[in-house]
Amino acid sequence: MTSVSYRGYGGSSGSPTEFGLMRDDEAAYREIRERGYPSDRIVLMGESLGTAVATAVASVHDAAALVLDSPYSSVADVAATHYWMFPAPWLLLDRYRADLAIRHVHLPLLVIHGDDDWIVPRKLSQRLFNLANEPKTFISVSGAGHVVLGAPGVFQRVRVWIDAWTGVKRDNS
């Protein structure tokens, strides 16, 4: 499993602009392909801010599947939810329009979202999911907040879903 620390996160330098994060994900995808991994063995994953970036990569590259943890339709929609009294969407430089990119994704999609997410309302995740092509699966995690992959039992469910789409057989004995 390969993980990317975006610029400005996880000890990486720089600042997390939309353009920069898209370049980071493109570079990560190219690197993994150059290391010899076939597209049918690559599962693109994003959490929170990274879900729009992963969706953009999935819209132009082949992979086995796309998994999104706590996604949203656009950052403007998130801003409008939290700052409804201001024209927040008009003040944003970076829009992270997952809602536009998802229409071009033709991979199996798994969306997981906590029903008590205080950062990205579940309705924005549901909006993105509704725009997505089939096949798609939505897992709502009861009582969970933002970014739920580490919540009890969630990773196991995600792994089973990924294994089903990639054909991986595990000996669980």
Residues serving a catalytic function are 48, 117, 146
Phi and psi angles of residue 68, each rounded to the nearest 5 degrees, phi first? -120, 125
Q: Determine the 3-state secondary structure of 2 from DSSP.
A: coil
Phi-psi region of 171 (alpha: psi -120 to 50; beta: other; left: phi over 0): beta
Q: Determine the 3-state secondary structure of 65 from DSSP.
A: strand
Measured CA to CA, the distance from residue 154 to residue 165 in angstroms comes to 17
Measured CA to CA, the distance from residue 31 to residue 36 in angstroms comes to 9
Measured CA to CA, the distance from residue 33 to residue 36 in angstroms comes to 5
